[in-house]
Structure 1
Amino acid sequence: IKRAAELIDMRKHKGAHPRMGATDVCPFIPIGDADWKEAVTCAKELGKRVGEELKIPVYLYEKAARDPSRANLAVIREGEYEGFFDKIKKAEWQPDFGPNEFNAKAGATAIGAREFLIAYNVNLNTKSVRRANSVAFDVREQGRVKTLDGTPTGNPMVDAKGNPIRVPGMLKHVKAIGWYVEEYGIAQVSMNLTNIQETPLHAAFDACHESATRRGLRVTGSEIVGMVPKKCLVDAGRHFLQKQNWSEGAAEEELIDIAIRTMGLSELKPFDPKKKVIELKIEATTPKKSLVKMDLRRFCNETLSESPAPGGGSVAALMGALGVSLGGMVANLSAGKRGWEEKLRYFSDWAVKAQRLKDEMLSLVDEDTVAFNKVMAAFGLPRGTAKEKSARKAAIEAANKLAAEVPLRVMRTAAKAYDLLAEMAARGNPASISDVGVGLLAVRACIDGAGMNVRINVANLKDEKGKTSLSNKVQVFTEESEARFKEISKLVEKKLKG
């Protein structure tokens, strides 16, 4: 904020987007373990510093707002930079922090705590800002002012209090305007999606497409400004597959690709998920050795080497993932089977469940090796002094417990696959019954193998109560697995015999 105030002179600034300061807005968005209380505290602490140290008027907004009437950023921005010279003099527009007079060079800054906001622009096959605004007014929550003659330039209709009567737009939690982008030579509908749970990315795209088509325009593509949570594109991919009457049980990578292609996110510039999707960006910038990212040959070579990891635990988890994948494959094949159109949603739902379960199993492939490595690291701790010996002993116990708990999770997670395989054996495409059978064998092997890994790590525990509890759980999971395996095997065998 300080640097922006040094470099940007608002007295010389012009632009199409509403703004009121060199740093127009600074939001805090809680992610991971952070909560709203922390975000609001950060917003207020920063606002206080900006006001006191930089002498810039600060307005708190959204969840950090002190005055509910000023929670909406658009309300604070109203009048923009040019109007703030008079606006700040009004009692109701005294800043939350900083001087009560406008900073001509730096303007004012809004600081707050809010939900994740997506800045999203939809490209139109026109250069007309007026026509782009027509689409923007159709889709945005605020809609448009109702006029007496029904034309955009007509006299506004007002209520008993003299306030303009508005026709609501198609989408909640959406702010939108039309503008012309000289760099691309096109007009866009520029939107802020302020609640992506209520109005997801694909809903905004579809609404613009519907409005544009109705007005004789065409949506040619779109762009995401900044970054986006992975869920937005995954959900969009599923949505577009559903519109195609196709199974939604695709891998995340494929769903993201479908979303990019359908919404034309690469029309103006290449859309690289590793740079634009938050989770993938973090993953790309913090690389770590991952078994599931190896190709098959390298994974087998790594397993075959003299290194003790990956070992039986990771291989067991991988077998479970493969078993689930076969069940999901049968679900997808059944969803796309000609003549079974009425069963599409049923099998698609199972394929989606399979994808999620497969991803969970794959994460356990790496977790098992990580747990084993922690055991090895604990044994490598120094033991020269009594204190070091005590710390080493505690670390070994904790590591052995974790090394037993991870394969137990593998057993519990893999057991969920039996429901999938049972459904596919009973109702799936009969031509794929052998795939169900192989998947069944893989899941059973996974559970039995993971059970062995629990038992070998439990043997090293000193905590007798914990040891007994884990051993009992292994026995229960193993017995339940064997019962489900026999039940589904009978059905598979029956169908194989015709």
Structure 2
Amino acid sequence: MKKLAELTTAEFVDLLASDAPAPGGGSAAALEGALGAALSAMVCGLTTVGKSKEKYADYQEFVIESQKKLTELKVAFVDVMDRDTEAFNVVSAAFGMPKATDEEKAARSAAIQKGLEGCTATPFEMMELSCKALEMTHELLGKTNDSAASDLGVAALSLRAGIQGAWLNVLINIGSLKNKDLAADYKKKGEEMLAKALPLADKIYENVLAQM
């Protein structure tokens, strides 16, 4: 089977719309993040060519480095998109394990819990990536090609959707974790990231909107 990243856009959205349980919201959130990071990287690229290169001469080194890091984040998002679906498949397989004896029930329960931890780790990673990408996008305000301001705004919106979508997937999984300390840690760190990232996304959007 092809990896999600190897599908055409039409194939991906058709699969997403099908009755297949995966890919789902987690993979969609990762794709949103990848699109956001890619857009911000594109804006950086548009700032290092032509007249923009002269206009933003003071920021060239920063913009070039930002483009490199955002491109790396884009790649990381695409990677975790597939790993999120793989993690879901592990849980699905665990639920299908036999449960006729006490030993089988214990093994099944342990496998489910291990799978749920994996299903929580991937969207949490998406949140971390989204937070980094939003911080970098925010730092680009006023330092990049103003003709591409709308693209920076869409990047912020995509990253906002990515981090909030990933958060919903974290929440739905930690509710089934028996390790309550781990669940509480994810919840605390996730809320801290949201408190930091969402205002940044809104600030970027409002800044771009003011330029329209």
Q: Could you say whether these structures have the same fold, taking a TM-score greater than 0.5 normalized by the shorter chain as the test?
A: yes
Matches for 1:403-422 after TM superposition, within 5 Å: 403-422=119-138
In structure 2, what is the equivalent of residue 375 of structure 1?
A: 91
How has the CA–CA distance of structure 1 residues 310 and 429 changed in structure 2, closer, same or farther, with 3 Å as cutoff? same
1:488 Cα offset (Å): 2.1
Q: Distance in 1 between matches of 2:124 and 2:155?
A: 20
Matched, 1:457 2:173: yes
In structure 2, what is the equivalent of residue 291 of structure 1?
A: 4
| 8 Å contact from structure 1 (residues 461, 467) kept in 2 | yes
| 8 Å contact from structure 1 (residues 336, 344) kept in 2 | no
Letter of the 1:327 counterpart = S
Q: Distance in 1 between matches of 2:166 and 2:142?
A: 27
Letter of the 1:481 counterpart = A
Q: Distance in 1 between matches of 2:142 and 2:166?
A: 27
Deviations 1:331-362 (A, max 9, x none): 00111132524354432222111111100111
2:46 is paired with a residue of what secondary structure?
A: helix
Matched, 1:307 2:23: no
Matches for 1:231-310 after TM superposition, within 5 Å: 289-310=2-23
Q: Distance in 2 between matches of 1:292 and 1:339?
A: 32
**Of the two structures, which has the highest relative contact order with CA contacts closer than 8 Å and spacing of 6 or more?**
2
In structure 1, what is the equivalent of residue 211 of structure 2?
A: 495
1:385 Cα offset (Å): 1.6
Letter of the 2:33 counterpart = G
Deviations 1:446-471 (A, max 9, x none): 00000000000111111221121111
How has the CA–CA distance of structure 1 residues 339 and 388 changed in structure 2, closer, same or farther, with 3 Å as cutoff? closer
Deviations 1:263-316 (A, max 9, x none): xxxxxxxxxxxxxxxxxxxxxxxxx53001111000001100000100000000
| 8 Å contact from structure 2 (residues 46, 52) kept in 1 | no
In structure 1, what is the equivalent of residue 29 of structure 2?
A: 316
Q: Which protein shows a greater Rg?
A: 1
Matched, 1:478 2:191: no
| 8 Å contact from structure 1 (residues 324, 354) kept in 2 | yes
1:486 Cα offset (Å): 2.5
What TM-score do the two structures reach when normalised by structure 2? 0.93
Letter of the 1:461 counterpart = L
1:409 Cα offset (Å): 0.6
Which consecutive unaligned segments of at least 5 residues does structure 2 have?
A: none
In structure 2, what is the equivalent of residue 332 of structure 1?
A: 45
Matches for 1:23-422 after TM superposition, within 5 Å: 289-338=2-51, 340-341=53-54, 342=57, 343-422=59-138
Letter of the 1:306 counterpart = D
Which of residues 131, 136, 152 in structure 2 aligns to 1:436? 152
| 8 Å contact from structure 2 (residues 52, 145) kept in 1 | no
- Identity over aligned pairs, percent: 34
Q: Distance in 2 between matches of 1:473 and 1:439?
A: 23
Q: Distance in 2 between matches of 1:348 and 1:432?
A: 16
1:390 Cα offset (Å): 0.6
Q: Whose strand fraction is larger, Structure 1's or Structure 2's?
A: 1
Deviations 1:181-220 (A, max 9, x none): xxxxxxxxxxxxxxxxxxxxxxxxxxxxxxxxxxxxxxxx
Letter of the 1:395 counterpart = A
| 8 Å contact from structure 1 (residues 421, 436) kept in 2 | yes
What TM-score do the two structures reach when normalised by structure 1? 0.41
How has the CA–CA distance of structure 1 residues 445 and 483 changed in structure 2, closer, same or farther, with 3 Å as cutoff? same
Letter of the 2:103 counterpart = K
1:402 Cα offset (Å): 1.1
Q: Give the paired residue count.
A: 209
Q: Distance in 2 between matches of 1:390 and 1:448?
A: 34
1:426 is paired with a residue of what secondary structure?
A: coil
Letter of the 1:302 counterpart = L
